[in-house]
Structure 1
Amino acid sequence: MITIRNPKDRPAPEAYHHGVEVSGNNRTLYLAGQIGMLPDGTIPEGIEAQTRALYANLKAVLAEAGMDFSNIVKTTIFLTDPKNRPAFSAARTEATGGIKSASTLVYISGLFLPELLVEVEAIAVKEVGA
């Protein structure tokens, strides 16, 4: 079972949850950091295109495990430029249908390829038998 924890006496998070509690008989999937690389190995230009590509990659890994974005309980986002946050957030909301999780955003100086602008890793949980 997944329970959202957003205390009423704390600032309301806009694009994430303060906490996500997992209990019961569950399967856990740890997703490696996904980047905006297309299936043909190319990297599209721009934060929106890279974000759409990386969420398509996340979706494919989730589907392989019989899960979807609603099963994600935690994400860690690595952005190379703070100016890209609004465009990333809009593309993420579009890609996930607005589904939220607990989330951490970290600004970094770069990723393993200089043209990469964003990477997202995730943890997903699904109740056994669901």
Structure 2
Amino acid sequence: GAFVLVAGCVGILPDGTYPRDLAGQTARCLERIEEALVAFGCSLDQLVRIRIYTTRIDQWAEIASVMGPRFARTRPANAMVGVSSLIDERALIEIEADAWAPAAERR
């Protein structure tokens, strides 16, 4: 088996802009993580650990409103950390995710 590790995922859109709100950026992060996992033959259901960094820790419930329903079945281990800034000042959230992928394509 193998792990697929996705790091440094912010909620940037294909046109280089960001959703204005934390929930929108969180949802976009998950889309980007899913795209990366699919490239290795995996899905979000195979995530075993998630680390969330946010500049808006006081708005953690907004993040949870996106993450909770998506992971209601699988419940990967997770941590949320408040930070003073991220790599792009427009980013409100960054997510790292680890998936267990026994049949992952090696790259």
Name the TM-score, length of structure 1 as normaliser: 0.73
Runs of 4 or more, structure 1, over 4 Å off, are none
Distance 1:114 1:67 in 2: 31
**Greater strand percent: which structure?**
1
Give the SS at the match of 1:111.
Answer: coil
CA deviations 1:72-129 (Å, max 9, x no partner) are 11111101122220011111234x2523211121110011111211110011112238
Structure 2 unaligned spans of 5+: none
| Match in the other structure for 1:82 | 57
Q: 2:86 aligns with which of 111, 114, 126?
A: 111
Q: 2:77 aligns with which of 85, 88, 102?
A: 102
Superposed CA RMSD in Å reads 1.5
Distance 1:37 1:93 in 2: 21
**Greater helix percent: which structure?**
2
Q: Are the aligned partners of 1:33 and 1:122 in contact in 2 as well (CA < 8 Å)?
A: no
| Match in the other structure for 1:41 | 16
Q: 2:32 aligns with which of 34, 57, 68?
A: 57
Quick one: which amino acid aligns to residue 119 of structure 1? Answer: E
By relative contact order (CA 8 Å, sep 6+), the higher-ranking structure is 2
Distance 1:123 1:49 in 2: 22
Structure 1 unaligned spans of 5+: 1-25
Give the SS at the match of 2:2.
Answer: strand
Distance 1:86 1:50 in 2: 14
**How much identity, in percent, do the aligned residues show?**
24
